[in-house]
Amino acid sequence: MSNSANILLVEDDQELNELLTEFLQLEGFNVTSTFNGEEGLKQAQNGNFDVVVLDIMLPIMNGLEVLKQLRNNKQTPVLMLTARGDEVDRIVGFEMGADDYLPKPCNPRELIARIKAILRRVDMDTQGLQNEAKKISIQRDDIEVNPATRVATLNSEALELTSTEFNLLENLLANAGNVLSKEDLTETALGRKLTMYDRSIDMHLSNLRRKLGPFRDGEQRIKTVRGVGYLYVAR
């Protein structure tokens, strides 16, 4: 992983944008900054960025809309800056395929840590792609997960999963019948440490649950083990 990653910053506040740009550059990133959603979307679709840092409240086109349109043709990782504690934005953002979120105003060091976590994960994924031979696809019940192509199917129909959800599913299936702790899942799927009051892994999991649906007999595929973590039911 290199620190000279390309970052697209979409933030409408002029001064904050300048400060963030300076800060990210100081951290060794190449930063392209834009001030509104439309411009940001154009840049994101045309450029080749490693991470998009996207504010939710944007003039012309809001962050969620940008994310939605971007996901139509690109899988560039997106880190969303949401209003603090705004559950609705957070949940909607995850559903649309944001890779992580950070409430604003945020601790800049936390921002760097999250960006690095995403980069690290993308790195791992690409390595995974390169080592195709090592990774064999996992099949269990009616689900098939192919880490090489990063395609998951349910009943031979492709599932629309975000990269985090895919990682989660892959992890759970590979360890079916065993409980995986939230700490481990956060590290493998989100590429960072679990922090206090951090419910993002639960949110990603509930999205995944919804997309997979229960077994044919109605039993939940992914079970919560209170105080420990999650488990994919082996049968």
Site residues, other proteins (CB under 8 A): 13, 15-16, 19-20, 22-23, 26, 84-88, 91, 104-109, 196-197, 199, 224, 226-227
Shortest Å distance, C-beta 103 to other proteins: 8
- Are 188 and 209 in contact by the 8 Å Cβ rule? The answer is no
Per DSSP, what are the bridge partners of residue 78? 52
Q: How far is it, in rounded angstroms, from Cα 125 to Cα 38?
A: 29
The two structure tokens encoding residue 18: 């300048």
Three-state SS for 205?
helix
Shortest Å distance, C-beta 187 to other proteins: 17
Q: How far is it, in rounded angstroms, from Cα 100 to Cα 94?
A: 8
- Residue closer to other proteins by CB (options 108, 128) is 108
Residue with tokens 């105003």: 105
- Residue closer to other proteins by CB (options 151, 194) is 194
What distances in angstroms separate CA 184 from CA 171, 181, 187, 201, one per listed residue?
Answer: 10, 5, 5, 10
Shortest Å distance, C-beta 15 to other proteins: 5
Shortest Å distance, C-beta 209 to other proteins: 11
- Residue closer to other proteins by CB (options 123, 202) is 202
